[in-house]
Amino acid sequence: MKEFIVQLSGNLFQIKVEIEKELIKGNKSNAELYSLILKAIDFLKTRRRGNPISKKLPIYRYFDNKYGIQIYF
């Protein structure tokens, strides 16, 4: 099975890093959000279905420009 790399948007990555720092310090107020982020990453890695998205399609450019989503195959 081909391994896929999930790349988070810049904002989501920053949030994930900040929550990790809080958890290390013992603040568990965002533990549920952190858990959801990790579950989403695992889901994207293991349950990917369908054909790869062509980078020539307008929808790919739309999501890449608007949300900073980059898909690597």
pLDDT tens, position by position, 6-47: 777 888 888 889 999 999 999 989 888 888 888 888 877 776
pTM of the model: 0.55
**pLDDT tier, 52 (very low <50, low <70, confident <90, very high otherwise):** low
The answer to whether residues 60 and 54 touch, using CB atoms and an 8 Å cutoff, is yes
In the chain, what are the domain boundaries? 5-72
Helix (H) or strand (E) holding 36: helix 31-46
The answer to whether residues 60 and 53 touch, using CB atoms and an 8 Å cutoff, is yes
Is the pLDDT at 72 greater than 60, yes or no?
Answer: no
Is the pLDDT at 2 greater than 50, yes or no?
Answer: yes
